[in-house]
């Protein structure tokens, strides 16, 4: 059975965000650990986030590190002791060595991609919590997300992602087909350009782990190697 380390995006409310996916993985016999990161604490940044993830990994080996959104900047900085056996990026920012999250937006053209996608769909380009993040999340789950929402501190957005190269382990990119923050076509392009990886589409928007947890968990389990007979 696999051990999944689940890293949240900006704000860091992992237990709320990953709850349904973690339950689905556990139901199939796997261990799933959402990593709580105090993303609203301005005293903490990318190095501290990576250290918190490493602490969650502990002495375990061959873990599957799953990172959402801004968590993509933590993923290559964690597991430096070789404990990570596989990385999965879900609607994630994919950094280059030394890049900051603020630089990433301009370098990849994420804003232009979002504006174009909004225009094509006839949506306003103004940020709206429901329209951008919660549009496909069931009503019964929205209250938990809103209650657990943390205003992300600005600290990590100006910090470089300090790694030399992505770890030499299997890396998978999972993309919500209806992501309105990072449109699917944009994510597919960035995955090809930066990782030479073909992304896999799953149903849902930026918070696909909340709106389609069974599909997200199913794809995570599909990435696992088939046990030898």
Output the DSSP codes for 170-211.
-EEEEEETT-SSS-HHHHHHHHHHHH----EEESSSTTHHHH
Q: Of the candidates 73, 64, 77, which has an alpha carbon nearest to the alpha carbon of residue 158?
A: 73
Domain boundaries in the chain?
3-222
Residue 185: its pLDDT value, please? Answer: 98
Whether 32 shows a pLDDT value over 80: the answer reads yes
Whether 226 shows a pLDDT value over 80: the answer reads no
Other Cβ atoms closer than 10 A to 147: 9
Tokens 């997300």 correspond to: 145
pTM of the predicted structure, to 2 decimals: 0.96
Higher pLDDT, 128 or 215: 215
> CA-CA distances (angstroms) from residue 205 to 85, 116, 130, 136, 175?
27, 16, 11, 7, 8
Residue 29: its pLDDT value, please? Answer: 97
Average the pLDDT over 53-78 and give the result: 97
- The DSSP H or E segment spanning 87 is strand 84-90
Inter-residue contact 191 to 95 (CB < 8 Å): no
Tokens of 228: 């030898």
Residue 81: its pLDDT value, please? Answer: 81
Average the pLDDT over 181-196 and give the result: 98
Q: Average model confidence (pLDDT) for the chain? A: 95
Whether 229 shows a pLDDT value over 70: the answer reads no
Average the pLDDT over 49-54 and give the result: 97
> CA-CA distances (angstroms) from residue 21 to 26, 45, 98?
9, 26, 31
CATH superfamily entry for domain 3-222: Alpha/Beta hydrolase fold, catalytic domain (3.40.50.1820)
Average the pLDDT over 139-157 and give the result: 87
From CA 154, how far away is CA 197, in angstroms rounded? 30
Whether 53 shows a pLDDT value over 80: the answer reads yes
Going by pLDDT thresholds of 50, 70 and 90, the confidence category of residue 146 is confident
Whether 228 shows a pLDDT value over 70: the answer reads no
Taken in order 81, 85, 91, 96, the sign of the CA dihedral is positive
Average the pLDDT over 170-190 and give the result: 98
Average the pLDDT over 135-153 and give the result: 86
């Amino acid at each position: 059975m696999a051990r999944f380390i689940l890293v949240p995006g900006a704000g860091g409310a992992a237990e709320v965000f990953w709850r349904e996916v973690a339950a689905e993985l556990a139901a199939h016999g796997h261990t799933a650990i959402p990593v709580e990161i105090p993303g609203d604490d301005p005293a903490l940044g990318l190095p501290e986030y990576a250290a918190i993830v490493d602490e969650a990994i502990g002495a375990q080996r061959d873990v599957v590190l799953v990172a959402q959104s801004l968590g993509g900047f933590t993923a290559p900085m964690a597991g430096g002791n070789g404990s990570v056996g596989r990385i999965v990026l879900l609607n994630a920012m994919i950094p280059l060595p030394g890049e900051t999250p603020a630089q990433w937006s301009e370098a990849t053209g994420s804003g232009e991609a979002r504006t174009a996608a909004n225009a094509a769909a006839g949506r306003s380009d103004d940020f709206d919590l429901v329209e951008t993040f919660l549009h496909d999340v069931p009503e019964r789950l929205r209250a938990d997300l809103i209650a657990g929402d943390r205003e992300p501190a600005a600290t990590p957005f100006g910090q470089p992602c300090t790694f030399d190269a992505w770890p030499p382990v299997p890396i998978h990119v999972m993309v919500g087909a209806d992501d309105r923050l990072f449109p699917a076509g944009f994510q597919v392009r960035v995955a090809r350009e930066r990782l030479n990886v073909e992304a896999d589409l799953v149903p849902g928007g930026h918070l696909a782990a909340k709106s389609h947890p069974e599909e997200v968990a199913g794809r995570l389990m599909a990435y696992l190697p088939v046990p030898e007979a």
